[in-house]
Structure 1
Amino acid sequence: MAKDKTEDPTLAKKEKKDKKDKKRKHSDIDPTSAIVGDEAVETPAKKEKKEKKDKKRKSLPAADVDADGDIAVVDVKDEDDEKKEDSTAPLAALVPFANPLCGEKEQKKVLKGVKKAAKSKALKRGVKECVKCIRKSPPSNPTTNTATSLPSGIVVLAADISPMDVISHIPVLCEDHGIPYVYVPSRAELGAAGSTKRPTSVVMIMPKVGKGVEEDKEWEEAFGELNKLAVKMGGEVRV
């Protein structure tokens, strides 16, 4: 009788299972690591990658790294966007009746005149002081003012005042007394030009220098130029 050469089915199943286990263990091993004994050791490639990641994390500010040590995503604003926001933000705070409002060129001339007036002690600051001076001024027509017949003063108001009722009555007083007035966008810049540390809502430039200061022909010419600019801007109504 010939010998039966068929294999034991249980033995074949066992060999098949061992092959699958070996294959699974091989796939679980990280290709960048090597096994020494029972522990996995980092290969040079993995170690170099980890060092690069640590250096990048150390170079970032603390705010850009979260609690787990991972790099956090930070929303970075463009410089052009910040400039746009800065340029448009003050416009929303301007009073609606700011007319005539100085442009960039006119603002430089007006603030330069305010600085000269402060040096010559020919400047009134604040609502109370300016209103008092306006009421004492004789009524006149600003359109008829000339180099020889100048107004009692020139009023410069800040357009970013809140609440607006603080200065809303001043333009009416100026028109009643024939005093030209203009608006500048920033009260902080107006205060700085008037040699004060605080923002100023309104200043009044006087035609004559204050006490203790010698008469200056240059200041009279500068006041005449400011008067022409204020009268010209007052004749242009901007809607």
Structure 2
Amino acid sequence: MPEEQLVKVNIDGIPVEVTAGTTILNAARQIGGDIVPPAMCYYSKLSGSGGKCRTCLVKVSKGSEKDPRPMPKLVASCRTTVMDGMEVQNITSPEVIEARKGIVEMLLLNHPLDCPICDQAGECSLQDLGYEHGAAKTRYEFERRQFERIDIGDKIQLHMTRCILCYRCVFVADQITDHRIHGILNRGDHSEISTYIHHAVDNDFSGNVIDVCPVGALTDKTFRFKNRVWFTKPV
């Protein structure tokens, strides 16, 4: 077998050597710690995931050794592969921090701030980002988009008002079940998760669909309000 080609990349001043084709996000994850960009729509086991929520934006201040020009705009680290000699800024870039703060504000435009009564509280990526980057109050003055809670299966309840349209639940159903019956309907700010013709999600992997949701949009009806994550112990 041919040897894997390794490339060197510098992220927030920390060098790391990774396999060619690795994304900036996964290169940062090899380093670990605070320099890892947040990512709510990317899931490493799901093909095609990423590029939706934009929370993982970073600044590429040097493209590569061959072409050292910086990239003109912030890039999604979950979809951008590293180049040999690339230099990346995440938490060391005020531009990135300001952009991420704006993205969090946008994600919270319609999202209810009901963390104390949400089943996802304590393990919610958006809750973490809200605490880190969120402002104390919103500038949004218009009516928020709201949905009624609906059951989309005997085990799944959908609270679309909390959904950030990360597509992770759709990718799970596409890639590990025989027949996906839910997806994204409509376009733009009218987009929503729903089942087709009010079918129910009824398969052996419905729990996986719930599990990949990074917020509290999909919850397990058999576990709702039974316990808090910080009271549970991993097995």
TM-score interval (norm. to shorter): under 0.3
Structure with more relative contact order (C-alpha pairs < 8 Å, separation 6 or more): 1
Higher strand share: 2
The normalised TM-score by structure 1 is 0.23
The normalised TM-score by structure 2 is 0.23
Higher helix share: 1
